[in-house]
Structure 1
Amino acid sequence: MKILLVDDVQMERMQLAIRLKQLGHIVEMADSGHEALRLYPEFKPDLVLLDITMPEMDGFEVSSQIRELYPEWIPIIFLSSHDAPEIIASAIDAGGDDYLIKPVDKLVLRAKLQAMQRIAFMRNQLNKKTADLARLNQELEKLAHEDGLTKVRNRRDVDKKLQEMVSVHGRHKVALTVILLDVDFFKLYNDNYGHIQGDQCLIKIASALNNLFVRNGEVVGRYGGEEFVVLVGHSDIYQAELHAERIKTAISSLFISHEHSQVSECVTVSQGVVSIQPTGNESIDELYHMADKALYQAKRQGRNRYVMYDPSMECDSLNE
């Protein structure tokens, strides 16, 4: 174990340190309470052996401060030449876990250390399991919000984020942008290049989008299948067009070969773009509906382009 030995009497401190080292322990010594408190966070002991009677700051005060400053429980054994019951009781009240009478008997010391070593082992095992559990929880939390294939946000997480953005932007009366994009002729890509290559295509597109939208208030997610969604906060209609143009350029620049596309030799995307200053009461389904209408027009007009949503599109669909 790593043992912090605190005693203001040099001879007693040195003698006990020699015994502890002979038993195979690592020992750090302090000659005062102040020194002990300074060493404690650096040394991170498994056990503290603490003399009660010291000038300036006695062992009871040192123990109390350790318990107050460091919530992780570490055993503290008090050392004292006094064996009065009330002193032992005071030691336990001050945060101590055991009590040794000086001069310390060799057999008693060995037995106490064996018991404390078992406790230290169990504590280390518990800490390890706690850390493993925390890491697993982090991974589960990530999986709950992440699309398994592309590693961008999943649909549920994007929906939640969009609802939050509608509320915040409505309250502050600022515009936001929703872009729904679809990979052009992706079925033909899958049919001719295979599903594994199709998955790689989606991963590359997701990565490109993630690299484009990295600032706070920018969200990239997989809407479903070969469709992705991009949310951009504080973005009016002019900025929305710039974002859509950036996406078009970035996807074309990937140069993913698509010999069976009817619009390009490489993979392209069609985009439906909505820029709106929400009231805060809009549903996410309304915004997706508008983006989908614009996306439909982009495909209808020849694909490999973006179309801004216009309310007249609703009339067009009724006429059709």
Structure 2
Amino acid sequence: MIAMLSIQESLTVLVVDDQAVPRLLARAALESLGHRVLESADPEGAVRLFMQSRPDLILLDVEMPGHDGYWVARQIRAAEQGGWTPILFLSGRNGDEEVWRGIEAGGDDFLSKPITTTLLSAKLRAMQRLLVMRAKLLERSEELRAANAQLRELSTHDALTGLCNRRAIDERLHQEIAACRREGQPLSLALLDIDHFKRFNDSAGHVAGDACLKQVSQLLTDACLRPRDLAGRYGGEEFALILPLTPRSGAMTYARALLRTLARAAIPHPDSPVAPNVTLSGGLTTCVPDEATTAEGLLLRADDALYQAKAKGRNRFFSYEMQLDTEEQLHQNSRL
């Protein structure tokens, strides 16, 4: 939360003037009003002191040897990078041209020399009001940013499991197709279902069903070991895995490891004809994307492979390209 400035609070004021007497008078007036004073007698030193101390307000003499006050103001504005520190120019000249040059350089107001405590107090109060208004605006902007981030989170993540939702999966899949196309690297996609989840809900109830979905979601999240791997809830008991830089053989190895991890978790299924514990069926598709590759095409192939995995008895993954499921591949490997 941004700290709010009260109009009654004291300020740290940087006084910049090459002449000692005007600096002394300004210090006396400011301290009588309860403000803390920093002083600089030269333009370059003023910029350095500003960078070191970040004062709340600057009283800046216009006429100085070498660089004038307008130069100092421009340096300070460039150094703030989006911030804003009120600058009051001090000058014996206050014609229209001088005011215009001051505003162009980044100043906010003019005070004619010699300054009076009464006028200085009024100007400072006006600047304090602007500082308070800016702090409030920044606070509201921060609240809006946080609200937008929360809205973005809600719009891209599933409320129950915390996984990416279908919208986010589709968006990420388009991004990874483009990235793998540029890189000339393989991309694997898996769609997977919890086997006989309706029977789970009918037997154990929807509260237990939600708990099961959360457990499986955490397992899928933990299985995403690389930064670009993504697990998402595609809908109901259906999930998606996006696995960039994963060839088809690697995807099958990944799928077998995932099934073993789920088996070790031993989440009881009260009414499954497949196994006493929760199992998954999944469809895999892998390609090195080219200009003809689309997210819709990958999803259709993964969905077709998922259908094949279910038709072959569930509790397995089927690869669309290899036309092989994890059980068959395991048996083939054992014969080698």
**TM-score, length-scaled by structure 2:** 0.82
| 1:92/1:191 CA distance change after superposition, 3 Å | same
> Residue 297 of structure 1 contacts residue 307 of structure 1 at CA under 8 Å; is this kept in 2?
yes
Q: Is 1:271 paired with 2:286?
A: no
1:224 is aligned to: 235
Task: Provide, for residues 231-285 of structure 1, a one-character-per-residue CA deviation record: whole Å limited to 9, x for no partner.
Answer: 1112212111111123213333433333333333332211111122343313333
Q: Is 1:260 paired with 2:266?
A: no
Task: Provide, for residues 258-317 of structure 1, a one-character-per-residue CA deviation record: whole Å limited to 9, x for no partner.
Answer: 33333333322111111223433133333222222222232233322222225879xxxx
Secondary structure (helix, strand or coil) at the match of 2:265 reads coil
C-alpha distance in structure 2 between counterparts of 1:211 and 1:26, whole Å: 55
2:14 is aligned to: 4
Of 41, 57, 63, which aligns to 1:47?
A: 57
Q: Is 1:59 paired with 2:46?
A: no
> Residue 169 of structure 1 contacts residue 280 of structure 1 at CA under 8 Å; is this kept in 2?
no
C-alpha distance in structure 2 between counterparts of 1:28 and 1:201, whole Å: 64
Q: For 1:103-114, list aligned pairs within 5 A.
A: 103-114=114-125
Q: Identity of aligned pairs, percent?
A: 37
Of 85, 107, 110, which aligns to 1:96?
A: 107
Task: Provide, for residues 78-134 of structure 1, a one-character-per-residue CA deviation record: whole Å limited to 9, x for no partner.
Answer: 123445665444433432221112332111111111111111111111111122222
> Residue 286 of structure 2 contacts residue 321 of structure 2 at CA under 8 Å; is this kept in 1?
no
Shift in Å, 1:73: 3.5
Of 195, 199, 215, which aligns to 1:204?
A: 215
Secondary structure (helix, strand or coil) at the match of 2:254 reads helix
C-alpha distance in structure 2 between counterparts of 1:23 and 1:120, whole Å: 18
Letter in 2 for 1:94: A
Letter in 2 for 1:261: S
C-alpha distance in structure 2 between counterparts of 1:64 and 1:170, whole Å: 47
Structure 1 residues not aligned, in runs of 5+: 314-320
> Residue 166 of structure 1 contacts residue 280 of structure 1 at CA under 8 Å; is this kept in 2?
no
Task: Provide, for residues 167-219 of structure 1, a one-character-per-residue CA deviation record: whole Å limited to 9, x for no partner.
Answer: 44345543221111111222222223332332232223222222221424322
1:316 is aligned to: none
Of 309, 320, 333, which aligns to 1:309?
A: 320
Shift in Å, 1:50: 1.0
Secondary structure (helix, strand or coil) at the match of 1:250 reads helix
1:161 is aligned to: 172
| 1:91/1:309 CA distance change after superposition, 3 Å | closer
2:162 is aligned to: 151
How large is the Cα RMSD of the aligned pairs? 2.7
| 1:195/1:15 CA distance change after superposition, 3 Å | farther
C-alpha distance in structure 1 between counterparts of 2:92 and 2:14, whole Å: 19
Shift in Å, 1:9: 3.8
Q: For 1:276-291, list aligned pairs within 5 A.
A: 276-291=287-302
Secondary structure (helix, strand or coil) at the match of 1:78 reads strand
The list of structure 1 runs, each at least 4 consecutive aligned residues, that deviate by more than 6 angstroms after superposition, is: none
| 1:75/1:305 CA distance change after superposition, 3 Å | same
Q: Is 1:129 paired with 2:119?
A: no
Secondary structure (helix, strand or coil) at the match of 2:151 reads helix
Count the aligned residue pairs. Answer: 313
C-alpha distance in structure 2 between counterparts of 1:214 and 1:31, whole Å: 59
C-alpha distance in structure 2 between counterparts of 1:304 and 1:148, whole Å: 27
> Residue 166 of structure 1 contacts residue 281 of structure 1 at CA under 8 Å; is this kept in 2?
no
Q: For 1:74-89, list aligned pairs within 5 A.
A: 74-83=85-94, 86-89=97-100
Shift in Å, 1:54: 3.1
2:193 is aligned to: 182
Structure 2 residues not aligned, in runs of 5+: 1-10, 325-336
Letter in 2 for 1:136: A
C-alpha distance in structure 1 between counterparts of 2:123 and 2:226, whole Å: 57
